[in-house]
Structure 1
Amino acid sequence: MAYDSKPVATNGPLGSLITAAQNGQLSVSYSTDVTVNADEFALIERDCVAMKAELRKLQVQAQSISDQSNWGLGENEDRLISAKTLVPRLRSKAAKVNSSDSDNNLFDIFQKHYRIVDDYQNLHKEIAQQYCAQDEQFAAEYRKLLANAPASPIGKTTTQPGVTPGIGLS
Protein backbone atom coordinates (compact mmCIF):
# COMPACT_ATOMS: atom_id res chain seq x y z
CA MET A 1 0.00 0.00 0.00
CA ALA A 2 1.28 3.45 -0.80
CA TYR A 3 2.56 5.51 2.09
CA ASP A 4 -0.02 8.24 1.57
CA SER A 5 -3.18 6.12 1.62
CA LYS A 6 -5.38 6.59 4.67
CA PRO A 7 -6.02 3.51 6.81
CA VAL A 8 -9.64 3.09 7.76
CA ALA A 9 -10.45 3.63 11.43
CA THR A 10 -11.58 0.37 12.93
CA ASN A 11 -13.61 -0.70 15.86
CA GLY A 12 -10.81 -3.14 16.71
CA PRO A 13 -8.59 -3.03 19.77
CA LEU A 14 -6.63 0.04 18.62
CA GLY A 15 -9.44 1.78 16.75
CA SER A 16 -9.61 4.79 19.07
CA LEU A 17 -5.84 5.34 18.78
CA ILE A 18 -6.00 5.12 14.98
CA THR A 19 -8.82 7.69 14.91
CA ALA A 20 -6.89 9.95 17.29
CA ALA A 21 -3.79 9.70 15.06
CA GLN A 22 -5.86 10.51 11.95
CA ASN A 23 -7.25 13.58 13.68
CA GLY A 24 -3.81 14.73 14.84
CA GLN A 25 -4.73 14.18 18.47
CA LEU A 26 -2.15 11.51 19.28
CA SER A 27 1.10 12.68 20.79
CA VAL A 28 4.10 11.14 22.47
CA SER A 29 6.85 12.82 24.44
CA TYR A 30 10.34 11.63 23.61
CA SER A 31 13.52 12.21 25.52
CA THR A 32 16.45 13.72 23.64
CA ASP A 33 17.92 10.20 23.37
CA VAL A 34 15.08 8.96 21.15
CA THR A 35 14.93 9.64 17.44
CA VAL A 36 12.18 8.74 15.00
CA ASN A 37 13.48 6.79 12.02
CA ALA A 38 11.64 6.10 8.80
CA ASP A 39 13.24 2.64 8.64
CA GLU A 40 11.49 1.55 11.82
CA PHE A 41 8.11 2.50 10.38
CA ALA A 42 8.87 0.75 7.09
CA LEU A 43 10.02 -2.42 8.86
CA ILE A 44 6.92 -2.44 11.05
CA GLU A 45 4.81 -2.18 7.90
CA ARG A 46 6.75 -5.01 6.25
CA ASP A 47 6.54 -7.26 9.28
CA CYS A 48 2.84 -6.62 9.85
CA VAL A 49 2.14 -7.66 6.25
CA ALA A 50 4.22 -10.83 6.77
CA MET A 51 2.58 -11.62 10.12
CA LYS A 52 -0.89 -11.24 8.67
CA ALA A 53 0.04 -13.60 5.82
CA GLU A 54 1.31 -16.15 8.35
CA LEU A 55 -1.87 -15.87 10.40
CA ARG A 56 -3.92 -16.51 7.24
CA LYS A 57 -1.81 -19.61 6.51
CA LEU A 58 -2.43 -20.84 10.05
CA GLN A 59 -6.15 -20.27 9.61
CA VAL A 60 -6.11 -22.35 6.43
CA GLN A 61 -4.33 -25.13 8.32
CA ALA A 62 -6.82 -24.96 11.19
CA GLN A 63 -9.73 -25.14 8.76
CA SER A 64 -8.06 -28.06 6.98
CA ILE A 65 -7.71 -29.91 10.29
CA SER A 66 -11.35 -29.27 11.09
CA ASP A 67 -12.47 -30.40 7.63
CA GLN A 68 -10.46 -33.63 7.74
CA SER A 69 -12.95 -36.42 7.03
CA ASN A 70 -11.16 -39.38 8.59
CA TRP A 71 -9.09 -38.94 11.72
CA GLY A 72 -8.08 -42.60 12.05
CA LEU A 73 -9.16 -42.77 15.68
CA GLY A 74 -11.86 -45.36 15.15
CA GLU A 75 -14.60 -42.81 14.70
CA ASN A 76 -16.21 -45.01 12.03
CA GLU A 77 -16.56 -47.97 14.42
CA ASP A 78 -19.94 -48.06 16.17
CA ARG A 79 -18.50 -49.76 19.25
CA LEU A 80 -15.87 -47.04 19.84
CA ILE A 81 -18.13 -44.45 21.44
CA SER A 82 -15.23 -42.41 22.82
CA ALA A 83 -13.80 -41.93 19.31
CA LYS A 84 -17.18 -40.69 18.09
CA THR A 85 -17.12 -38.17 20.95
CA LEU A 86 -13.46 -37.16 20.66
CA VAL A 87 -13.31 -36.41 16.92
CA PRO A 88 -16.06 -33.74 16.93
CA ARG A 89 -14.40 -32.09 19.94
CA LEU A 90 -11.03 -32.02 18.21
CA ARG A 91 -12.64 -30.79 15.01
CA SER A 92 -14.33 -27.90 16.85
CA LYS A 93 -11.05 -26.93 18.54
CA ALA A 94 -9.52 -26.34 15.11
CA ALA A 95 -12.47 -24.34 13.72
CA LYS A 96 -16.19 -23.96 14.27
CA VAL A 97 -18.12 -26.80 12.73
CA ASN A 98 -21.57 -25.57 13.73
CA SER A 99 -23.05 -22.51 15.41
CA SER A 100 -23.09 -24.12 18.87
CA ASP A 101 -19.28 -24.50 18.87
CA SER A 102 -17.19 -22.17 21.02
CA ASP A 103 -15.18 -19.23 19.68
CA ASN A 104 -12.26 -20.76 21.58
CA ASN A 105 -10.83 -22.49 18.53
CA LEU A 106 -7.65 -21.99 16.54
CA PHE A 107 -9.29 -20.38 13.53
CA ASP A 108 -11.09 -17.70 15.58
CA ILE A 109 -8.08 -17.08 17.84
CA PHE A 110 -5.89 -16.51 14.77
CA GLN A 111 -8.57 -14.09 13.49
CA LYS A 112 -8.34 -12.10 16.74
CA HIS A 113 -4.56 -11.96 16.39
CA TYR A 114 -4.96 -10.85 12.78
CA ARG A 115 -7.20 -7.93 13.86
CA ILE A 116 -4.64 -6.85 16.47
CA VAL A 117 -1.78 -6.90 13.95
CA ASP A 118 -3.96 -5.10 11.40
CA ASP A 119 -4.79 -2.37 13.90
CA TYR A 120 -1.13 -2.10 14.92
CA GLN A 121 -0.17 -1.76 11.26
CA ASN A 122 -2.84 0.87 10.60
CA LEU A 123 -1.83 2.86 13.68
CA HIS A 124 1.84 2.94 12.65
CA LYS A 125 0.89 3.70 9.04
CA GLU A 126 -1.18 6.67 10.18
CA ILE A 127 1.63 7.96 12.40
CA ALA A 128 4.07 7.57 9.50
CA GLN A 129 1.68 9.53 7.27
CA GLN A 130 1.60 12.32 9.83
CA TYR A 131 5.41 12.44 9.86
CA CYS A 132 5.46 12.35 6.04
CA ALA A 133 3.10 15.33 5.91
CA GLN A 134 5.45 17.32 8.15
CA ASP A 135 8.91 16.19 7.07
CA GLU A 136 9.88 15.81 3.41
CA GLN A 137 13.14 14.04 4.26
CA PHE A 138 11.29 11.49 6.39
CA ALA A 139 8.72 11.03 3.60
CA ALA A 140 11.39 10.43 0.96
CA GLU A 141 13.26 7.94 3.15
CA TYR A 142 10.03 6.15 4.13
CA ARG A 143 8.94 5.77 0.48
CA LYS A 144 12.38 4.50 -0.48
CA LEU A 145 12.44 1.98 2.36
CA LEU A 146 8.93 0.72 1.64
CA ALA A 147 9.87 0.14 -2.00
CA ASN A 148 13.15 -1.61 -1.17
CA ALA A 149 12.53 -3.31 2.18
CA PRO A 150 14.30 -6.64 2.56
CA ALA A 151 12.13 -9.71 3.02
CA SER A 152 10.68 -10.14 6.47
CA PRO A 153 12.11 -12.94 8.61
CA ILE A 154 8.57 -13.77 9.77
CA GLY A 155 7.56 -17.15 8.45
CA LYS A 156 11.04 -17.93 7.15
CA THR A 157 12.36 -19.91 10.11
CA THR A 158 11.52 -23.51 10.74
CA THR A 159 12.16 -25.66 13.75
CA GLN A 160 12.81 -29.34 13.70
CA PRO A 161 10.97 -31.62 16.11
CA GLY A 162 13.22 -32.48 19.05
CA VAL A 163 15.60 -29.57 18.39
CA THR A 164 15.64 -26.52 20.63
CA PRO A 165 16.63 -23.44 18.59
CA GLY A 166 20.03 -22.12 19.64
CA ILE A 167 20.77 -25.21 21.75
CA GLY A 168 20.49 -28.22 19.50
CA LEU A 169 19.09 -31.66 20.15
CA SER A 170 16.82 -31.94 23.16
Structure 2
Amino acid sequence: MKHLLFIPLLVASLLAAIPALAMEGVAVIDMRNAVLATQVAQDAFKALEEEADYAANIERATVLQTERQSLAETLQKDAETLSQEEIADMQRDIQEKGKDIEFIVGKIQAKQSETADKIFRDLNPSLQKILSELIAAKEVKMLLGRENVLFADTSLDLTDDVTSMLDVAAAEGKDNE
Protein backbone atom coordinates (compact mmCIF):
# COMPACT_ATOMS: atom_id res chain seq x y z
CA MET A 1 0.00 0.00 0.00
CA LYS A 2 2.89 2.37 0.75
CA HIS A 3 4.22 1.81 -2.78
CA LEU A 4 0.92 2.96 -4.24
CA LEU A 5 1.26 6.32 -2.46
CA PHE A 6 4.99 6.61 -3.07
CA ILE A 7 4.76 6.40 -6.89
CA PRO A 8 2.28 9.30 -7.36
CA LEU A 9 4.31 11.44 -4.93
CA LEU A 10 7.51 10.64 -6.80
CA VAL A 11 5.92 11.47 -10.16
CA ALA A 12 4.46 14.71 -8.77
CA SER A 13 7.80 15.82 -7.33
CA LEU A 14 9.59 15.02 -10.61
CA LEU A 15 7.02 16.96 -12.61
CA ALA A 16 7.39 19.91 -10.25
CA ALA A 17 11.18 19.83 -10.64
CA ILE A 18 11.19 19.68 -14.46
CA PRO A 19 9.93 23.25 -15.06
CA ALA A 20 12.54 24.62 -12.62
CA LEU A 21 15.30 22.78 -14.45
CA ALA A 22 13.94 23.67 -17.85
CA MET A 23 13.73 27.41 -17.10
CA GLU A 24 17.39 27.85 -16.28
CA GLY A 25 19.11 29.16 -19.39
CA VAL A 26 15.85 29.97 -21.16
CA ALA A 27 14.68 33.48 -21.97
CA VAL A 28 11.82 35.03 -23.91
CA ILE A 29 11.76 38.19 -25.99
CA ASP A 30 9.28 40.13 -28.08
CA MET A 31 11.74 41.75 -30.48
CA ARG A 32 9.06 43.76 -32.26
CA ASN A 33 7.84 45.26 -29.00
CA ALA A 34 11.41 45.79 -27.78
CA VAL A 35 12.27 47.82 -30.86
CA LEU A 36 8.96 49.65 -31.28
CA ALA A 37 8.93 50.70 -27.60
CA THR A 38 12.23 52.57 -27.96
CA GLN A 39 12.43 56.33 -27.98
CA VAL A 40 13.79 56.15 -31.54
CA ALA A 41 10.60 54.38 -32.67
CA GLN A 42 8.33 56.75 -30.76
CA ASP A 43 10.09 59.72 -32.37
CA ALA A 44 9.82 58.15 -35.83
CA PHE A 45 6.08 57.52 -35.45
CA LYS A 46 5.55 61.03 -34.09
CA ALA A 47 7.35 62.40 -37.16
CA LEU A 48 5.14 60.20 -39.35
CA GLU A 49 2.01 61.64 -37.74
CA GLU A 50 3.28 65.12 -38.60
CA GLU A 51 3.80 64.30 -42.30
CA ALA A 52 1.21 66.16 -44.40
CA ASP A 53 0.13 63.18 -46.54
CA TYR A 54 -0.16 60.82 -43.59
CA ALA A 55 -2.10 63.34 -41.48
CA ALA A 56 -4.39 64.08 -44.45
CA ASN A 57 -5.10 60.36 -44.87
CA ILE A 58 -5.93 60.01 -41.17
CA GLU A 59 -8.23 63.02 -41.36
CA ARG A 60 -9.90 61.78 -44.55
CA ALA A 61 -10.50 58.32 -43.07
CA THR A 62 -12.01 59.89 -39.95
CA VAL A 63 -14.31 62.14 -41.98
CA LEU A 64 -15.42 59.24 -44.20
CA GLN A 65 -16.10 57.05 -41.16
CA THR A 66 -18.19 59.82 -39.57
CA GLU A 67 -20.14 60.33 -42.81
CA ARG A 68 -20.66 56.60 -43.19
CA GLN A 69 -21.88 56.26 -39.60
CA SER A 70 -24.23 59.21 -40.06
CA LEU A 71 -25.69 57.70 -43.23
CA ALA A 72 -26.17 54.34 -41.51
CA GLU A 73 -27.94 55.98 -38.57
CA THR A 74 -30.18 58.01 -40.89
CA LEU A 75 -30.99 54.93 -42.92
CA GLN A 76 -31.86 52.96 -39.79
CA LYS A 77 -33.93 55.77 -38.28
CA ASP A 78 -35.79 56.84 -41.44
CA ALA A 79 -36.01 53.54 -43.32
CA GLU A 80 -39.81 53.42 -43.00
CA THR A 81 -40.31 56.86 -44.56
CA LEU A 82 -37.73 56.60 -47.35
CA SER A 83 -38.47 55.33 -50.85
CA GLN A 84 -36.76 52.17 -52.10
CA GLU A 85 -34.65 54.32 -54.43
CA GLU A 86 -33.48 56.54 -51.54
CA ILE A 87 -32.65 53.47 -49.46
CA ALA A 88 -30.68 51.96 -52.36
CA ASP A 89 -28.79 55.24 -52.87
CA MET A 90 -27.91 55.47 -49.18
CA GLN A 91 -26.77 51.84 -49.09
CA ARG A 92 -24.61 52.44 -52.16
CA ASP A 93 -23.09 55.56 -50.53
CA ILE A 94 -22.36 53.58 -47.36
CA GLN A 95 -20.63 50.85 -49.39
CA GLU A 96 -18.61 53.37 -51.42
CA LYS A 97 -17.48 55.17 -48.28
CA GLY A 98 -16.54 51.78 -46.79
CA LYS A 99 -14.39 50.99 -49.82
CA ASP A 100 -12.76 54.42 -49.66
CA ILE A 101 -12.04 53.92 -45.96
CA GLU A 102 -10.47 50.51 -46.64
CA PHE A 103 -8.25 52.02 -49.35
CA ILE A 104 -7.10 54.90 -47.15
CA VAL A 105 -6.54 52.65 -44.12
CA GLY A 106 -4.44 50.40 -46.38
CA LYS A 107 -2.27 53.42 -47.29
CA ILE A 108 -1.98 54.38 -43.60
CA GLN A 109 -1.00 50.85 -42.59
CA ALA A 110 1.52 50.62 -45.43
CA LYS A 111 3.19 53.83 -44.25
CA GLN A 112 3.24 52.57 -40.64
CA SER A 113 4.73 49.27 -41.77
CA GLU A 114 7.33 51.08 -43.88
CA THR A 115 8.29 53.20 -40.86
CA ALA A 116 8.52 50.15 -38.58
CA ASP A 117 10.67 48.32 -41.15
CA LYS A 118 13.03 51.30 -41.36
CA ILE A 119 13.30 51.40 -37.55
CA PHE A 120 14.13 47.67 -37.49
CA ARG A 121 16.78 48.10 -40.19
CA ASP A 122 18.33 51.08 -38.41
CA LEU A 123 18.36 49.43 -34.97
CA ASN A 124 19.25 45.90 -36.09
CA PRO A 125 23.03 46.21 -35.55
CA SER A 126 22.49 47.54 -32.01
CA LEU A 127 19.79 44.95 -31.38
CA GLN A 128 22.06 42.06 -32.39
CA LYS A 129 24.91 43.38 -30.25
CA ILE A 130 22.64 43.87 -27.23
CA LEU A 131 21.08 40.42 -27.62
CA SER A 132 24.55 38.86 -27.77
CA GLU A 133 25.60 40.71 -24.62
CA LEU A 134 22.41 39.77 -22.74
CA ILE A 135 22.64 36.14 -23.82
CA ALA A 136 26.20 35.97 -22.49
CA ALA A 137 25.48 37.95 -19.30
CA LYS A 138 22.36 35.97 -18.40
CA GLU A 139 23.82 32.67 -19.62
CA VAL A 140 20.89 32.10 -21.97
CA LYS A 141 21.02 28.76 -23.71
CA MET A 142 17.68 29.13 -25.49
CA LEU A 143 15.99 32.37 -26.56
CA LEU A 144 12.36 32.10 -27.60
CA GLY A 145 10.16 34.64 -29.33
CA ARG A 146 7.25 35.65 -27.11
CA GLU A 147 4.81 35.05 -29.97
CA ASN A 148 5.78 31.35 -29.89
CA VAL A 149 5.36 30.93 -26.14
CA LEU A 150 2.02 30.24 -24.52
CA PHE A 151 3.23 31.12 -21.02
CA ALA A 152 6.45 32.40 -19.57
CA ASP A 153 7.36 33.74 -16.17
CA THR A 154 7.99 37.48 -16.50
CA SER A 155 11.46 37.04 -15.02
CA LEU A 156 12.41 35.20 -18.24
CA ASP A 157 11.39 38.13 -20.47
CA LEU A 158 14.27 40.22 -21.88
CA THR A 159 12.04 42.61 -23.86
CA ASP A 160 12.21 45.57 -21.46
CA ASP A 161 15.95 45.06 -20.94
CA VAL A 162 16.53 45.17 -24.68
CA THR A 163 14.36 48.28 -25.09
CA SER A 164 16.26 50.10 -22.34
CA MET A 165 19.62 49.07 -23.77
CA LEU A 166 18.58 50.17 -27.27
CA ASP A 167 17.55 53.55 -25.87
CA VAL A 168 20.93 53.89 -24.13
CA ALA A 169 22.79 52.88 -27.30
CA ALA A 170 20.78 55.41 -29.35
CA ALA A 171 21.48 58.16 -26.82
CA GLU A 172 25.18 57.32 -26.84
CA GLY A 173 25.13 57.39 -30.64
CA LYS A 174 23.65 60.91 -30.56
CA ASP A 175 26.24 62.05 -28.03
CA ASN A 176 29.07 60.83 -30.27
CA GLU A 177 27.81 62.82 -33.28
Per the TM superposition, whether the score is higher than 0.5 is: no
Q: Per chain length, whose mean CA-contact separation is higher, i.e. which structure has more relative contact order (CA < 8 Å, sep 6+)?
A: 2
> How high is the TM-score relative to the length of structure 1?
0.40
Q: Which one has a larger percent helix, Structure 1 or Structure 2?
A: 2
Q: TM-score, normalised by structure 2?
A: 0.38
Tell me which structure has the larger Cα radius of gyration.
2
